[in-house]
Structure 1
Amino acid sequence: MGERGGRNAAQSARVVHAVVKSDERRDALLDKLAAYVLAEGLSASSLRPLAQAAGISDRMLLYYFTDKAAVIAATLDRIAQQMMTLMDARAASGRLAPATLQKHLLGIVLDDEFWPYMRVWLEVASLASRDDAFYRPIAEQIGRAFLAWGMAQIDGPTEAAREADAARLLVTIEGMVMVKSFGLDAVCLKAL
């Protein structure tokens, strides 16, 4: 390999290293952005406060993401990943009867550790309910992930029965999350 080939290889290695560092930095930023949105909500998530939470300027934030929509989409994706990780960590060891799974899942989603995720979910759902073209597909994706999680956890005689029970579980739990959001936690517990 000649001198020129050696320089090109070294230059390529630096570029790859820079891309990896950039990806690692973006990943670390997403954790900070997710923490901010979980604490403050989407309504407080304009570019400047998001950038401040990430410890960078708003211009630098746009270096890592093309625009505010990309920042929010990536942040919500990170939040959804974190939420599903928390749910998976608390999954039952086997399939449960629908009523048992409902109590188990309610214990997860109404827990103080999990509640920030539910608050963000309620904001996304509210925006999606207005046919917001940005939030509607995000809400659908999260809702389908909840449904799939329930389907994987629920016991039933057939797949069709599990699908129906998982759908009932989803709408029941979502209703309970809404009821908790306006301070009627005790009503949720009486409904079980």
Structure 2
Amino acid sequence: MVSREEQRARVEAALAAHLLDHGLAQTSLRELARAAAVSDRMLLYYFADKAEVLGCAAQRIAADLAGHIGEAVGEGERLAPLALLERAGALVTRAEIRPYMRLWVQMIAAAGRGEAPFPAIAEAMLAGFLAWVEAHLAIDEAADRQAVAAMIVAAVDGLAIIDIGRGPDLAARAARAISHLGRPR
């Protein structure tokens, strides 16, 4: 017999896949339950409410994305800001990462509109992204590490916005252009 925890993990995986495939457009409890192949009532057996459903799915997505990010920059590896930005830019413009970035932009937009539970989800995910960037920065200790990390996250998120608004070709070209920023003219 499958335990409640195992079944909940299966449901979380299905919900995360649904969000990556469909974004936030189909997130009624009924649609989420259908995506997880359970009834509405069963979904609420595993989770307290819709906010917890979305929060847990977002945590799973963030953990999966962290695995991809770990492939781009090794654990304990520290890079100069421009080198870290270049690697992160190359990563987020890859086709397999595009659904994560598109969902992230949707979550930020929903948080900006104050739609629960997205302000809390966005805050937690952004804190994780910033902490990861800070941990991988090789900069002078006198530098404002948090501000440099925020600049890198903003640039990477900007690539996702370009991808959505103008397409993956321009986003990929912009990511490759990062390497030219530090070169003298």
TM tier, shorter chain?
Answer: 0.7 to 0.9
**1:63 matches 2:45:** yes
Tell me which residue corresponds to 1:180. Answer: 163
Larger-Rg structure = 1
In structure 2, give the amino acid aligned to 1:188. A
After superposition, what is the alpha-carbon deviation per residue over 1:7-37, rounded to whole angstroms, capped at 9, x for unaligned?
Answer: xxxxxxxxxxx8x810111011101110111
CA distance in 2, matches of 1:169, 1:127: 22
**1:28 matches 2:10:** yes
CA distance in 1, matches of 2:112, 2:118: 9
SS at match of 1:37: helix
Query: 1 or 2, which has the higher helix percentage?
Result: 1
CA distance in 2, matches of 1:159, 1:45: 45
CA distance in 2, matches of 1:27, 1:76: 13
Contact 1:180 1:188 in 2 (8 A): no
1:39-58 aligned at under 5 Å gives the runs 39-58=21-40
After superposition, what is the alpha-carbon deviation per residue over 1:114-141, rounded to whole angstroms, capped at 9, x for unaligned?
Answer: 1111111111100111133421121111
In structure 2, give the amino acid aligned to 1:50. L
Deviation of 1:78 after TM superposition, in Å, equals: 1.4
After superposition, what is the alpha-carbon deviation per residue over 1:39-79, rounded to whole angstroms, capped at 9, x for unaligned?
Answer: 01111121222212211122211111122222112111211
Q: 1:149 aligns with which of 132, 157, 160?
A: 132
- Number of residue pairs aligned between Structure 1 and Structure 2: 174
What RMSD, in angstroms, separates the aligned Cα atoms of the two structures? Answer: 2.0
Contact 1:34 1:79 in 2 (8 A): yes
Deviation of 1:152 after TM superposition, in Å, equals: 1.1
Tell me which residue corresponds to 2:118. Answer: 135
| TM-score relative to the length of structure 1 | 0.82
Deviation of 1:104 after TM superposition, in Å, equals: 0.3
Deviation of 1:163 after TM superposition, in Å, equals: 2.8
Tell me which residue corresponds to 1:167. Answer: 150
In structure 2, give the amino acid aligned to 1:58. D
Taking only the aligned residue pairs, the percentage that are identical comes to 37
Worse-superposed segment, 84-93 or 182-191 = 182-191
Worse-superposed segment, 127-136 or 97-106 = 127-136
- Cα 1:190–1:80 change in 2 (3 A) is closer
Tell me which residue corresponds to 1:120. Answer: 103
CA distance in 1, matches of 2:18, 2:142: 40
Contact 2:51 2:116 in 1 (8 A): no
Larger RCO of the pair (alpha carbons < 8 Å, separation 6+): 2
| TM-score relative to the length of structure 2 | 0.85
In structure 1, give the amino acid aligned to 2:34. Q
- Cα 1:66–1:161 change in 2 (3 A) is closer
Worse-superposed segment, 88-97 or 59-68 = 88-97
Structure 1: which 5+ runs fail to align?
1-17
- Cα 1:168–1:154 change in 2 (3 A) is same
